[in-house]
Structures are given as C-alpha cells and as structure tokens.
Structure 1
Amino acid sequence: MRRRLVPALAVLATLLVGCSTVPTSSPNVVITQAPNRSDEPVGIEPVSPEKGATPEEVVRGFIDAAASSTRQHPVAREYLTPQAAKSWSDETGITIISPSYSAVTTEAGAVRVSADWVGNVDPRGIFSLSDQENYSREYTLEKVGKEWRIADPPDGLVMLLPDFSRLYDQLPAYFLDPTGQRLVPDPRYLIAGDSQPTALINRELDGASAALAAGVKNPLEGAQLRRAITVSSQIVTVDLTGLSPNPSPELSELCAQVVWTLQPFGARSVQVLIDGEPVSIDGIPSVQTVDTWASYSPEGAAVDAVGHYVFNGAVYTVDGKPVPGPAGAGAYGLTSAAVSANADGQLTTMAGTTAAAGGATLLMGAYGGDLAPVLAGDTLSVPTVAATRDETWVVRGGDEIVRVPAGGPAQAVATPTLGGLGRATVLQLSPDGVRAAVVIDGPEGPRLYVGTVNRSPDGGVSLPDLRQVAPSLSQVVDVAWRTSSSLLLLARDPGQARTVPYTVGVDGWNPQDVGTAGLPNEPTAVAAAPDRQPLVSAAGSIWEFSAGTWVTLIAGQEPLPGTEPFFPM
C-alpha cells in the first residue's frame, strides 16, 4: 500500500520507537475535559497567589495552576472568589492553548486572555482539533479583602501546551476491525499516574470515539470492571463482570483487546477474570501476553512486505530486482502499483494503473501473474490496499472513490462530504482498513483529511465524514500510514516554501517536521508501513530513512532510479 513522505528527522525517529509526545508547534486545538486524575502529584505543582498580585498576574497564576494532578485543583481555586471557588468545575474539559499567550486588562477592567488554540480533549480523553485558530476569553476580577480574585472562571481547565505535554500521556484504546483480524487504535490522553490502566480500560468499556465508532466492533461492550486493575509480581489482573465466561470468538476477542491495551504498563502478563474467575479458553494460558494474541496485532506486517517501486513502467523491489511476471518486465507500462498479502503474509494480488491519451486504467491480477483491466476513468489516483480485505481502492476523476474487490465488480464508495470540500488527489487506506487518509484540493489548496470506513450489512461502503487533520500544514502532496494511528505526509514548509515530510497523529495531534537530510531534491512521494523503514522518491530515485537521514537503498551504491514507492499490505 502506498503513501507519501515522512516527518522531521527527530520526529520520525521518535515514531519508529513508538513514543508519543506533545507538539512544540501544532495546529489549534481545544480540550473539553480532563480524564480521571491520580491522587498522586505528578511533576511540578503550582504555587498559591502572591500578596498584592495584579489582575493579570492572578489570571496567569490561575492558568498555571491548571497544571496540577491534585484532585479538585485546590491551588487553582485560591485564585477565585469564594463563591466562584465553590461553583467552579474542573471536570468539564481542558482547553489547550499556546504558551505564548497574552493577558491584558481591557478598558472595562476585565483581563482578556488571547492565544493560539491548540485543541480539545473530552471527558473520555479524546483529542480533537479546534475549529477556531484563536482562543480569546475575558476574566472578571473582584477584590476579596485587599486581593484580586477571579469571579467568573470558565468551567474546565485552560492549560498551556507544555504543561499538558508534561502531565498527559497518549495511550491507545483498542477496538476490533469488522473482519475480526486486527485491533484498531483509538488514541486517548490520560493523566500520568497509577490509575492509568483502570482509566484506559474504562474508556474502552465506554466505547470508541464518535469518529471511529461506525468502523469498529467493541468486544467489551456491556462489560464493567468489578474493581480497579491491579499490578502484582509483573502480572496485571483485570476483573470484569457482565460477560459470559463460556468460550466463544467474542471472549477471545475481548481478551486480545484487554491484553494489547495493557501492554504499555510494564507488565507483559495479564490475567483476565470474569466475576472473579479466570477465563478458560482452550489452548490459551490463564496468564496471557501479547504473544498469545499476536494474530490481532495492530501493527502486523506481511512477511514479504519489502518496499516496491515503479521504474520505466515496471515494478521493482528495493533490492533493485524486478518483481516476477509481466509487471516486472514492464509489459503494462504501469505508472503506480499496490500489492496485497494473504493472512500468512504471502503476496497475492497486484493492482496497477496505466495512463494514456484516452485516460487511465486500473489493472488487477495475481502477484507475478497476468493483470487485466478492471476500471477506467479520465484520471485514477495511485491504488491503495489494506491488510484485512483483498480489495483495491482508487479515486476516479477526483470526485468518485471506487473499491474493486479481487475477482469482483467495482463499487462506488459513498462520500457525502467530499463534494463540498474539493477534488481528491490522494487516497490511502490504513493498514487495518478502518480509516482512509485523503488529500483534497479545496479553496485553500491541498489539505489532509481522515475518514472512517463504514460498511453496512447490505454490502454498502461509505466514508460518511471526512475530518481535516493538521490544518496548519498546507499544499499537501502525498500521505502514508506509518502506523495504524500515525501518518506521514509531504507538505509545503511555510517558512522556506519547500516540500517537507511531516508526521502527525491520526487525530491531528503533534505535527512535526522530519527533515530532508540526504535527499537530492524535494520529495514527491512516500511509502510507509508498520515496522518498516519509510521510502521516498526524490529527483527520480528511491531513498530510505535510516538513522535520522535519507540514504540510498543499497549501502555504498548510487541511488536506484524510480518513483511511486509502496509497501505490500
């Protein structure tokens, strides 16, 4: 499956080891509620108001005091009038703003806070981009004795981006793709502390985010935790109720969901209980690990998923050798390609596009065998595939998304919001097939959008809602899925007017510049896959990202000529 470039060197290196941090610069965003807080202080706690503080200093102190892990934010309440301190709720949300904000007294005597608006995290820890670039809010202050205090604080927390980064961790809540083959991450932001495992499983019990829910199943639906999750002797114990203990596919799925979700918390071994009794599944130990449920891995990669690319109409692998069959001999004059793998990781189906004066054609067939025409159009985007279904997707004519199952007829994918956004130029399915990243050329130029694939019982397929991701990045050229929850894209660097690779979370979190060190020219296309080093085409040759720089595919040799790199899925 094909993608387009990588993020900043340091950022991509971070991606490769799976870290998650908060951006140093990012599109505007708001957070509407803090997840459950730990009873233990985390990091640096804020200070109480100083005597004689000015109104501006009081407001700034109140915002600084949001960066606390202590329940009820007692220090923040010290900046409020007694009545406001009693009525103010710190649990209705978090608004994240830039650290370079202003607090200025207005002519009416209020203090106006202005900042870049970074985003929202709701009560379930779900981050969303703000639909506004600027945050502005006026605070009314009153004298309490001799000291100024805030009389009308907004409910929820207003928090500076570095503070949010220090206090909150990004963790994946997992759900199941409709085929039951892969776990699908749904990023959540939870305050650091011992309560994280319990909080994260509770988020799964509540269900997937609104943006993802239509595209996944929740094996934990209807269940509840009987008690808080415990960690003892490197074993995490999860006690659930509201479920049948009888062996079933659903029981296996929820065990896989729970075990993979709890992987980040140090102990690899998980014991799942139902009403206090260990689950009993044939062939499954009572203490489970991610290896027990390796088949559900959210980042699984095909065994033969080495990089491919196109040169002179033929398809090659990254060792510079043509693929077997007519496609490798250049028989079709392919301009782009994609390859599917089966459940065992062997390459099975190839799709490729050709272009001529009369338009474009999509061809499909067995990997290494003959390809046959299956779809035509004035224009066709680079084909894309996912690991969970043997089907190929393309954009035809910029306004129609079409899926072609292997051996089946083409089917239009309903996209009710696409017409109002612009012309789609790039489409890439996520490895699990649940999400689609789309580059749409609209009034503000090519921008990146993400939608969730919705499959109805009658066989219909749609992308009902396309949400803009990373609005601060313009002139997007290409996009790829680095993992099932992170994207690589090529976009115009506003400071230097050049195309640069970036990384960004699937929810729009933390866009970062990867860098172009080692490349002979601006990148034009990118390929990525879980657990694989990204590829890029630049100056008509193929490059690989390694150790913080772009290098030739074969060490010590000249770059291999080629374009349109991709990885099988």
Structure 2
Amino acid sequence: MGPDRERDGRRRETARAVVYAACGAVLLAGCASMPDSGDLRGVESTPRQDAQVRVFALPPHENAPPAQIVQGFLEALTSDDPHYETALKYLTPGAAKEWRPDASTTVLDGGPSAEPVHVGGRDDPDDYTSTLTGGRFATLDSQQSYEPADGKYRETLHLTREKKSGQWRIDDLPQGIVMGKSDFLRNYTSVNKYYFASNTPTESDGQPVSVADPVYVRKKVDPMTQTVLSLLEGPSRWLGPVVRSSFPTGTALRKGVTSLTPDDQNRLTVPLNDKAGRVGSAKCTEMAAQLLYTLQDLTPTGVDEVALQRANGSQLCVLGKDQAEIVAVRGVVQHPEFQYFIDGKHRLVRVAGDSLEAAADVTPVPGALGEGEKQLRSAAVSRDEDSAAGVSLDGTMLYVGSLVSGGSLGEPVLTSEGTTKADRLTTPSWDGDGDLWVADRNPEKPRLLLLEKGAGEPLEVRTPGLDGRIEAVRVAADGVRIALIVEKDGLRSLYIGRIERDERSAAASGGSSREKTAAEQRAGERSAVSVLELRSVTPQLEEVTAMSWAGDSRLVVVGREQDGVQQMGYVQVDGSTPVGSAPAALTGVKGIAASEDERLPLVAYSEEDGIVRLLSGSKWQKLVKEGSAPVYPG
C-alpha cells in the first residue's frame, strides 16, 4: 500500500527518501512524484536521465505518532526497496510475518486517503485505526497480471503501542499493497512473457507459435531477474488454458542464484534447478526461445544469446536470438507484401506494403474480387496473401476467392438473413491456420461463425458470457486470442476473448443444436470452438468505432469517452495503456488497420480524407480520396 507523493500540493513530513544515482547518495525531502490528474498516457513519460535513480524510504522516527506511522508505511511501499524491508519496520513482528506484499497490487486514481479513528477513546489510548479510501483504477494479481478496475477502495489498518518499546506499530493490515496510478507508473513497467499456443492446428504441425502474456514488474528492482522468475512460474490464469511452457513444472533458478545479468557479450546465463536437468535438446532450445522473446524488449539492446545450465553447472543448451525464429514462430510469419482496402468502385485493391510514398500505386488484386464481379463493402486477406474473403455491398453474402488472375468466385460461402445492412455480416478475419471468422448480426440469430479454411459448413462458435451483439471481429496471429467490438444498449466496447478448441464433436459437447450435414458426417467428429472469459479492455470508452491488432499484445483503437471527442490510441490486451505516444490525431475515422509487424504504417479510412497512411515519423498522408475498409492480411 502506498500513496502518490505531494498529493494536492502538500509535502508530507515522512516523505523523505535516500536516492542512489550514479553520482552518489542524496537526501531528498520527498520521494519522486507525478501529478494524479490525467490518464495513463498523460503521466507515464519519465525523463531518460532519471532511468537509474532509485528511491528508498526512511524507517519510522522515534516516538512517531500513529498518523506518521501510517503515512510512512504507505510511502515505504512506493520506494525501490526490493523486499519491502523498510515497510516491514512499520509493522509489529507478528504482522510482519503474516503480511504478503506480493499477494496483489491495487492501483487507485490518486493516492489513498488515510482517515484516522481513535478506537479506544480515553479508556484505551493505545488502540488506533486508520481507514484507507480511494477510487479503484486497476489491480495486479499475485502473478502480476493487470486488470482494469473501478468502484471504491476501503481497507483498514490497525495500530497498537508496543509494550516494551512504547512505539506505535501496525498490527493488522490487508494483504498486498495499494498506490496511486502515477506512483504505479513510476514503479512498474509492462513486460511480455512468451509461451506457446497449445490448442491450434499449427502447434501439431511441429513449429510452436509464441503467445505474449503481459505482466508488470518493478522497473528498478532487477527487472530482468523478476521477469525470468515470472516466466518460470508459468502463464497467467487467464491465458493458461490455451498455452504451454517448455520449462518442466517446478523449474526454478538454481539455489543461491538471486540475480541474472548479461555478460559483456550480451549473453545471459540462466542456471536452473534439477527439474530441468534431463530435458532434451529440442525442448531446451524451446525454453531458450521463450527466454529470448521475453527479454527482447526489456533492455534497449535485448539479449543476444541465452545459455541454460543444469544445477551442477554443466551446459544444457545455447541459443542466439537470430536462431529463435527457427525454433518458434513469433507474431506474423511473413512480412505483409501489401496493404488492402475497398476502392470507390467497390473492388478489393492493394498498395505495396514497403512503399513509403504518399502517391503509391494502387492496383486491383488479381482475381474476381479485384475485377468488380461482385461489389464489396469490406474484405479480409489471408495471412499468406493467397486468398481473400469479401462481404457484398449490402452485407448479405460472404465470398471467398483466390488472389490469382482469372480465378472465379462461385457461390457465397455464407448468407445473412438480416433485414438491414447493419444487421448483416461483419468484416471477416483470417487466423494463422487459414480459418475464416465472421459475425452475423441478424437480431433474430446473432452468431460468431468459423469457416475452416474459408469453406464448408460454418461452425457456430460458442460465446458463453457474451452480453451484447458482436459488431467487429479480429483474430490475433497466435490463434488463441480474439478481439471483439460488442454493442449493448447503444454502447460499443472492446473485449478480448480466449479461443479454446474442444476435440470432441460439437454435438457431444453441447454445441450447436443443428443437425449434422453430410459433409460433417463424412468428416466424423468436429472440434467445438469457444470464446471464453471475455474481458473489457477499454472501460473508459463508451463508443469504440474501430480496432486492429498492432503487435503481439497491443491493439490500436478508435473511440470516444462519454461526452468526449473521438480519439485514437493504443491499448494492451490486459487493458493497460502502453508506454509511448499515441498516433497523430485524425478526424472522422471509420476504419483502422495495423499490422502485427509494428514497423509497417497505420492505414485508416476517414470520412473527410478517404484512405490515409501514417508513416513512421511523419503525419497522416492521403493515399486516395475514394476508398474504405482498410485491412492488412489477417
């Protein structure tokens, strides 16, 4: 638990800290602080020269009154003390043994307010209670996974005067810690751990697909070692059912190893305990790939090579970062060749993905979807860029065709019976295994559908817990996460769901009640597919207009807050706001496309400007005036 410092312009007496920098030790009358106002993006910028500054709180003063003990304890929890040793000095010995600071972290809009209550009155002057209050903003669980939160925070600290010393100490307190969001941003940084998808067809083909699992670690308390320990402990509860780790259960650092640091060749040696001693070479290189992907963005240069050791010091395996992609897939397998959109003639067209010119050549795609045989309002291109799916102009029919000259469309693979354009098919989305996802918004029968390899009888995807109608669908490259814009009561929110596949037949597992077709009977049992544990990642927005995946664990979102103006920004899959600037402002945005290869430009459809692109370090540039529905492969 800990407050934002100097809240409301006041400097607290107990907010003294020793700050260790490269030049020596300095005594400050207050820990580093940032303003409470504004959102995450407004307070997350920290001067680069402060990166190595570490803040330490002071222990309790002799004969400090209860209010100072409470305040000092809260301040100590926002310091860079690795094991909260200073905070423990504010507790009685019994409370110090029971308290678990790593149980959870509660983030408040501002620092917690401490309301004192003298419980015992004059008859018991040694009994004192302080109630902490504030507005919830987010929480970290025991695995350091982030989740947006709201509502009121109210917890109580109880203090007593120790018999022998006569000093006030806290003897009863809630588990975990609490702090304001600006202190949270100063103390923590987001890191992606990487595991492997366990329930997609690609996994069974040999090369595993990596999946990002974001967590928050304390940025100035040996973040590399923290991150490795978190990776070894396993995936977050939410992601766990659809991923696996190549580290054997129970794998930990070798006894006595407390810190990990790359050598002068940027090689990290990771000594492991006996649980990992007998893994084979293939499994070991997967373990090393997990480490390399996880540590890639933790430092400016990443880690060039990982060496894993057995408990006896012998070498298990060595893997360089240039070899990691041979071991496991991360993100997009192929660099997209083109960006795509629907032109003014309602055809699917494309522009070279590596073109940096504003006036780049726009050409129809090869095949029927680019020839105008059917007028389209939206489309999706497979990740290998060999096929595409297009929704007819009225939203009724879904066609799938090859991106080869002379190819024909044939009959639609799906038809909606919705009575209006808004009640028909959404823009489709291809996953990494070549399956096609689309939602039918027909109010009489709203459904999320999956067409295996873009053909055959659509499989109805189960969506338990879905409260509202799906308005947009985008599947992540890893195939285990899906982003949905869901409308309810006029509000549109962005949700992330977990894709689970059940190898039992849909009928046997309580799936669709429709009768099996002849094709299904020939195929035998068919997997049931579900989207589970949907969670909102934009609780502050009441109208999400468009979204697209923009990295392993990041999306770009267009929306507005209540009574606010439209804005564009990035959001993590856990609902936190990633560090970095938002895209340049653009008005009237109706569609947005980003590649999971973050080096490629954003592409947007604006009512005022048509199709525009945002190149790195530049402003939005107009591509064509007449066009809509931009997409990258996926």
TM-score, normalising length: structure 1: 0.81
Is 1:567 aligned to 2:614, yes or no? no
Q: Which digits, 9 at most, give the CA deviation of each residue in 1:495-547, with x for residues without a partner? A: 6x32211211111112799667563x321111111222111111161122235
8 Å CA contact 1:173–1:200 kept in 2: the answer is: yes
Query: 2:570 — aligned with what?
Result: 503
Query: 1:202 — aligned with what?
Result: 229
List aligned pairs for 1:183-194, cutoff 5 A.
Answer: 183-192=210-219
Return 5+ residue gaps in structure 1 as ranges. Answer: 1-21, 28-40, 280-285
8 Å CA contact 2:540–2:561 kept in 1: the answer is: no
Alpha carbons of structure 1 residues 424 and 169: separation in structure 2 relative to 1, 3 Å: same
Does the residue aligned with 2:334 lie in a helix, a strand or coil? coil
8 Å CA contact 1:25–1:511 kept in 2: the answer is: no
Q: Which digits, 9 at most, give the CA deviation of each residue in 1:185-208, with x for residues without a partner? A: 101222235754444333333321
Distance 1:74 1:513 in 2: 33
Amino acid of the structure 2 residue aligned with 1:501:
M
Deviation, structure 1 residue 441: 1.2
Deviation, structure 1 residue 50: 5.1
List aligned pairs for 1:29-40, cutoff 5 A.
Answer: none
8 Å CA contact 2:367–2:401 kept in 1: the answer is: no
Q: Which digits, 9 at most, give the CA deviation of each residue in 1:62-99, with x for residues without a partner? A: 22111133354233234445654454332322222233
Distance 2:107 2:314 in 1: 43
Amino acid of the structure 2 residue aligned with 1:167:
N
8 Å CA contact 1:477–1:524 kept in 2: the answer is: yes
Distance 1:553 1:83 in 2: 66
Distance 2:474 2:152 in 1: 31
Query: 2:592 — aligned with what?
Result: 526
Distance 2:612 2:232 in 1: 43
Alpha carbons of structure 1 residues 444 and 61: separation in structure 2 relative to 1, 3 Å: farther
Deviation, structure 1 residue 288: 2.0
Alpha carbons of structure 1 residues 553 and 317: separation in structure 2 relative to 1, 3 Å: farther
Distance 1:25 1:404 in 2: 40
8 Å CA contact 1:516–1:550 kept in 2: the answer is: no
TM-score, normalising length: structure 2: 0.73
Distance 2:97 2:305 in 1: 44
Does the residue aligned with 2:172 lie in a helix, a strand or coil? coil
Could you tell which deviates more after superposition, 53-62 or 559-568? 53-62
8 Å CA contact 2:145–2:236 kept in 1: the answer is: yes
Distance 1:23 1:546 in 2: 31
Distance 2:492 2:413 in 1: 28
8 Å CA contact 2:57–2:76 kept in 1: the answer is: yes
| Residue 401 of structure 1, aligned match among 448, 455, 458 | 448
Query: 2:501 — aligned with what?
Result: 455
Q: Which digits, 9 at most, give the CA deviation of each residue in 1:6-29, with x for residues without a partner? A: xxxxxxxxxxxxxxxx996259xx
Query: 1:348 — aligned with what?
Result: 386
Does the residue aligned with 1:465 lie in a helix, a strand or coil? strand
How many residue pairs are counted as aligned between the two chains? Answer: 512
| Residue 134 of structure 1, aligned match among 152, 155, 175 | 152
8 Å CA contact 1:42–1:69 kept in 2: the answer is: no
Is 1:362 aligned to 2:392, yes or no? no
Is 1:156 aligned to 2:195, yes or no? no
8 Å CA contact 1:302–1:568 kept in 2: the answer is: no
Query: 1:445 — aligned with what?
Result: 491
| Structure of larger gyration radius | 2
Query: 1:481 — aligned with what?
Result: 549
Q: What fraction of aligned residue pairs are identical, expressed as a percent? A: 26
Amino acid of the structure 1 residue aligned with 2:372:
G
Deviation, structure 1 residue 125: 2.0
What is the root-mean-square deviation of aligned Cα atoms in Å?
A: 3.1
Distance 2:192 2:342 in 1: 35
List aligned pairs for 1:101-140, cutoff 5 A.
Answer: 101-105=112-116, 110-130=129-149, 132-140=150-158
Return 5+ residue gaps in structure 2 as ranges. Answer: 1-35, 42-51, 120-127, 352-359, 419-423, 505-526
Amino acid of the structure 1 residue aligned with 2:465:
T
Does the residue aligned with 2:364 lie in a helix, a strand or coil? coil
Alpha carbons of structure 1 residues 73 and 218: separation in structure 2 relative to 1, 3 Å: closer
Amino acid of the structure 2 residue aligned with 1:67:
T
Of Structure 1 and Structure 2, the greater helix share is in 2
Amino acid of the structure 2 residue aligned with 1:382:
T
Is 1:542 aligned to 2:633, yes or no? no
8 Å CA contact 1:500–1:514 kept in 2: the answer is: no
Query: 2:430 — aligned with what?
Result: 385
Deviation, structure 1 residue 287: 3.8
Amino acid of the structure 1 residue aligned with 2:57:
P
Distance 1:223 1:81 in 2: 34
Alpha carbons of structure 1 residues 550 and 206: separation in structure 2 relative to 1, 3 Å: same
8 Å CA contact 2:486–2:493 kept in 1: the answer is: yes
8 Å CA contact 1:93–1:122 kept in 2: the answer is: yes
| Residue 238 of structure 1, aligned match among 267, 270, 290 | 270
Alpha carbons of structure 1 residues 382 and 410: separation in structure 2 relative to 1, 3 Å: same
List aligned pairs for 1:31-50, cutoff 5 A.
Answer: 43-49=54-60
Distance 1:516 1:173 in 2: 25
Query: 2:30 — aligned with what?
Result: none
Query: 1:99 — aligned with what?
Result: 110
Deviation, structure 1 residue 209: 1.2
Distance 1:391 1:270 in 2: 35
